[in-house]
């Protein structure tokens, strides 16, 4: 019989692995459960697959007793179980909670009295109460708030951010009942410096959606400002610079080729779907979605116009994409706007390659893009470079001095051959 463990983290991805690392660091006997044998075998051999938790940290975790497994029976030995599986979108753009449902069923099969079960996966308000709770109760015969504790605590992971970590980022905690919240607070109090207790699980779920929808809507706003300024002959970046000098009542956002990552392009769909189920139309989300969906095409249009100016015909032109990850300094390419940009250029006969020191391979519509490893050589052999992501390694002076034209979607460069978005 397996010895009891303090924590089982279900899902060892971009959320679960940092949590498992922090728990191990805090002295909790921690086991990570994942459905991928590749992930489990890699971690067991000391190899990380997640940015922010490098191989050295994985080695330290293993040295402290951490174990990764695909065996769900470990759940029966857990004092606390935290579900950190992904919540993406189905092909039709609706929320896909299949991973949450599968993980919850696994937990339910092994659930024991007194266990704390926490959902960290992002979803619409009511998921913990109306989806997770019935699955746990029906399969186990136990009752939330009476026989076991049920809580929701949204993840706040910012890949590439060395300052705001699992420990230092304030953590929202909620419970199905006040006793559940108290138990969850005691657990997270061992891991996080500052806890914020929500009134209930729906409030905590809604808070998470608000955080990312706030960014989604404001990015859409500055994107549409950029579109309007371009049509009107107004310097977008000077407008943004001037507005950002206001010390109150204004939060700066910048336009770009689109939004990427697992949270910003996805979470608003969960809010919209949850609201629609109650007959509430989120009109602002629909407008933001429309604007953001236009941005990759706008970048393609600007690029084709530049190629026409520099060589007469875009067909056969060579374009180099600079930075294909979704944010600076990370290797994560989930929902990267580089994909629709590359697809749009390829569709008219442009030869597209990319340079990104963080991304070893990048495919678009099932076809890999050629990767340039020597930036200077790649710039010299291109008709146009498009700065999609301002990675810290990029020297703006080098980009400005390059022989090829530069389309800068991040507002970082200036020069005779530079065109700003």
pLDDT digits (tens, 9 = 90+) for 337-383: 999 999 999 999 999 999 999 999 999 999 999 999 999 999 999 99
Q: Is it true that 5-199 and 237-420 share their CATH fold?
A: yes
Question: For residue 1, is pLDDT > 70?
Answer: no
Ordered by start, the domain boundaries in the chain are 5-199, 237-420
State residue 263's pLDDT score: 84
d(CA 223, CA 292): 7
pLDDT at 90: 86
> With contact defined as beta carbons under 8 Å apart, do 108 and 134 qualify?
no
CB-based burial of residue 160 (10 Å sphere; 0-12 exposed, 13-18 middle, 19+ buried)?
middle
pLDDT in tens, 276-299: 989 998 899 999 999 999 999 999
Q: Is 263 a catalytic site residue?
A: yes
Superfamily of domain 237-420: NAD(P)-binding Rossmann-like Domain (3.40.50.720)
Closest CA to 178 of 131, 145, 143: 145
In this predicted structure, what is the pLDDT of residue 91?
84
Question: How many CA atoms lie less than 13 Å away from 362 in the CB half-sphere?
Answer: 32
Q: What is the pLDDT of residues 182-233, one digit of tens each?
A: 999 999 999 999 999 999 999 999 999 999 999 999 999 999 999 999 999 9
Among residues 303, 331, 292, the alpha carbon closest in space to that of 408 is found at 303
The superfamily (CATH) of domain 5-199 is NAD(P)-binding Rossmann-like Domain (3.40.50.720)
DSSP 31-72: EEE-S-HHHHHHHHTT---BTTB-HHHHHHHHHTT-EEES-G
CA dihedral 161, 163, 166, 170 (to 10 degrees): -120
Q: Which of 84, 263, 393, 404 is catalytic?
A: 263
Q: What is the mean pLDDT of residues 41-45?
A: 97
Question: Tokens in use for 58?
Answer: 């994985």
Residue 386: CB atoms within 10 Å: 29
pLDDT (tens digit per residue) in 85-130? 999 888 888 889 999 999 999 999 999 999 999 999 999 999 999 9
Distance in angstroms (rounded) separating the CA atoms of residues 381 and 379 = 5
């Amino acid at each position: 019989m397996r010895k009891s463990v303090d924590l089982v983290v279900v899902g060892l991805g971009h959320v679960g692995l940092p949590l498992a690392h922090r728990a191990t660091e805090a002295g909790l006997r921690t086991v990570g459960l994942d459905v991928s044998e590749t992930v489990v075998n890699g971690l067991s051999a000391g190899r990380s697959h997640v940015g922010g938790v490098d191989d050295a940290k994985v080695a330290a975790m293993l040295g402290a007793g951490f174990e990764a497994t695909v065996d769900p029976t470990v759940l029966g030995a857990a004092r606390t179980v935290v579900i950190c599986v992904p919540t993406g979108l189905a092909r039709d753009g609706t929320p896909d909670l299949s991973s949450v449902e599968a993980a919850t069923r696994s937990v339910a099969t092994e659930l024991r009295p007194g266990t704390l079960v926490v959902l960290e996966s992002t979803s619409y308000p009511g998921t913990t109460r109306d989806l997770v709770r019935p699955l746990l109760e029906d399969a186990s015969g136990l009752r939330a708030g009476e026989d076991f504790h049920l809580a929701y605590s949204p993840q706040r992971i910012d890949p590439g951010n060395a300052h705001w970590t699992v420990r230092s980022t304030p953590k929202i905690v909620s419970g199905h009942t006040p006793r559940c919240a108290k138990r969850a607070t005691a657990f997270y109090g061992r891991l996080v410096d500052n806890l914020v207790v929500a009134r209930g699980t729906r409030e905590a779920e809604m808070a998470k959606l608000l955080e990312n929808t706030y960014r989604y809507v404001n990015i859409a706003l500055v994107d549409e400002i950029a579109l309007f300024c371009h049509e009107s002959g107004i310097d977008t970046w000077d407008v943004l610079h001037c507005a950002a000098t206001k010390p109150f009542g204004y939060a700066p956002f910048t336009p770009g080729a689109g939004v990427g990552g697992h949270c910003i392009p996805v979470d608003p769909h969960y809010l919209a779907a949850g609201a629609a189920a109650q007959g509430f139309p989120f009109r602002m989300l629909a407008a933001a979605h429309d604007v953001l969906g236009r941005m990759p095409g706008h970048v393609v249009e600007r690029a084709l116009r530049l190629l026409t100016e520099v060589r007469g015909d875009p067909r056969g032109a060579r374009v180099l994409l600079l930075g294909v990850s979704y944010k600076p300094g990370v290797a994560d390419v989930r929902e990267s706007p580089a994909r629709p940009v590359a697809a749009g250029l390829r569709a008219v006969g442009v030869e597209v390659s990319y340079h990104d020191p963080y991304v070893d391979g990048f495919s678009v519509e099932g076809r890999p893009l050629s990767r340039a490893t020597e930036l200077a050589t790649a710039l010299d052999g291109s008709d146009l470079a498009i700065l999609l992501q301002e990675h810290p390694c990029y020297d703006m002076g080098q980009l400005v001095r390059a022989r090829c034209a530069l389309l800068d979607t991040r507002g970082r460069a200036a020069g005779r051959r530079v065109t700003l978005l």
